[in-house]
């Protein structure tokens, strides 16, 4: 039997993040949940906490490989890769890293929206290539301020996005599980009604099975030919095939996307579009925020292993 109580699970951990965790507690490391079965049985029997980073499934079978498991501490606010129901059934707590990343994700959402409407990718290529001098101006594009935006999911991140867009004099509409207290924003009970009412539709849902395909083909159709989709949540929250159909056919105006269904392997149809701004799931990808997320994950691990209250439990 080993003394090692912590497993660092995720090949995307930066070296300094692994070092920070290992400095606090003796730790083993695996690339992902699929590699846990191959660990020495004595080590598996000693592991009490997993520091997890990634988007591959962490399910019941994996949990059952770790008989002493008491905590899965997720790096990120979205823990849809972890089967929380299975964890709860086994008395395993799950934590995430909310709040510390909301600002960054909201910043990127706003910039995706403006960059799409103002054709900034094209603008940059035009200026940076020298074509501005030889070919003249780019076509006029589209005003953002004063338009109408629909926020799909007015949680922590959705609220941050709405607060920012309100400063652009935008008329804020939203959906959420129930009507919220807002400064006069317009609640819609369903996403089709929301999409029909707005110019820009910004998706800020949690991921997971409950929200899979929530922004449906019908919602995308309701958005109409001037409509723009912005998604900074999870690729799963929108019917991606319907989105691609609409972008290709021009039945909506465009999209600004940080997340995709099979990321990082994007549907190749995305790569041929000129009405999109694409980002490589970097919503929380700043030095400042990733450090804050890593520290919060470690603080949850430490709280658990040292018998204190968890900071940000989700179950």
Question: Of 207, 195, 192, nearest to 258 (Cα)?
Answer: 207
Q: Residue 52 Cβ, how far from its own copies at the closest point, in Å?
A: 17
CB 67 within 8 A of CB 45: yes
Q: Contact positions toward its own copies, by CB under 8 A?
A: 12, 103-104, 106-108, 110-112, 114-115, 118, 120-121, 123-124, 126-130, 132-133, 136-138, 140-146, 163-164, 166-169, 263-266, 268, 270-271, 276-280, 282, 285-290
Q: List active site positions.
A: 234, 263, 281
- What is the rounded distance in angstroms from the CA atom of residue 253 to the CA atom of residue 250? 6
* Closer CB to its own copies, 67 or 280, in the complex: 280
- What is the rounded distance in angstroms from the CA atom of residue 155 to the CA atom of residue 142? 28
- DSSP structure string for 60-79: HHHHHT-TT--EEEESSS--
- What is the rounded distance in angstroms from the CA atom of residue 91 to the CA atom of residue 73? 14
- What is the rounded distance in angstroms from the CA atom of residue 83 to the CA atom of residue 219? 28
* Closer CB to its own copies, 130 or 209, in the complex: 130
* Closer CB to its own copies, 6 or 113, in the complex: 113
Write out the two tokens for 270: 């995305």
Q: Residue 269 Cβ, how far from its own copies at the closest point, in Å?
A: 12
Query: What count of other Cβ atoms lies within 10 Å of the Cβ of residue 85?
Result: 10
* Closer CB to its own copies, 12 or 85, in the complex: 12
Q: Residue 265 Cβ, how far from its own copies at the closest point, in Å?
A: 5
Query: What count of other Cβ atoms lies within 10 Å of the Cβ of residue 131?
Result: 12
CB 165 within 8 A of CB 183: no
Q: Residue 163 Cβ, how far from its own copies at the closest point, in Å?
A: 6
Query: What count of other Cβ atoms lies within 10 Å of the Cβ of residue 177?
Result: 8
* Closer CB to its own copies, 237 or 289, in the complex: 289
Write out the two tokens for 291: 């450090």
**Could you give the strand order of the β-sheet that contains 93-95, starting from the edge strand earlier in sequence?**
27-30, 6-9, 49-52, 71-74, 93-95
- What is the rounded distance in angstroms from the CA atom of residue 298 to the CA atom of residue 315? 18
Radius of gyration of the chain (CA): 22
Could you check whether the bond before residue 243 is cis, i.e. omega within 30 degrees of 0? no
């Amino acid at each position: 039997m080993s003394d090692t109580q912590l497993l660092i699970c995720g090949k995307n951990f930066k070296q300094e993040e692994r070092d920070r965790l290992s400095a606090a507690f003796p730790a083993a490391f695996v690339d992902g949940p699929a590699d846990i079965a191959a660990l020495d049985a004595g080590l598996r029997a000693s592991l009490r906490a997993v520091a997890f980073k990634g988007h591959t499934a962490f399910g019941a079978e994996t949990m059952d490989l770790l008989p002493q498991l008491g905590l899965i501490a997720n790096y990120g606010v979205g823990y849809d890769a972890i089967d929380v129901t299975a964890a709860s059934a086994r008395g395993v707590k799950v934590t995430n890293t909310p709040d510390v990343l909301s600002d960054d994700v909201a910043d990127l959402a706003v910039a995706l929206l403006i960059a799409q409407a103002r054709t900034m990718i094209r603008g940059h290529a035009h200026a940076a290539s020298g074509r501005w001098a030889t070919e003249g101006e780019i076509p006029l594009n589209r005003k953002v301020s004063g338009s109408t935006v629909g926020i799909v999911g007015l949680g922590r991140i959705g609220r941050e996005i709405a607060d920012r867009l309100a400063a652009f004099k935008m008329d804020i509409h939203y959906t959420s599980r129930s009507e919220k207290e807002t400064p006069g924003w317009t609640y819609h009970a369903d996403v089709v009604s929301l999409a029909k009412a707005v110019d820009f539709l910004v998706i800020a849902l949690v991921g997971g099975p409950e929200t899979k395909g929530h922004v449906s083909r019908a919602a995308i159709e309701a958005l109409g030919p001037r409509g723009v989709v912005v998604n900074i949540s999870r690729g799963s929250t929108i019917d991606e095939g319907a989105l691609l159909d609409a972008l290709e056919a021009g039945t909506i105006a465009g999209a600004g996307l940080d997340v995709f269904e099979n990321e990082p392997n994007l549907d190749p149809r995305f790569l041929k579009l000129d009405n999109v701004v694409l980002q490589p799931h970097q919503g929380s990808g700043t030095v400042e925020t990733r450090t804050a997320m890593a520290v919060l994950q470690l603080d949850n691990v430490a709280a658990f292993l040292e018998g204190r209250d968890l900071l940000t439990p989700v179950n």
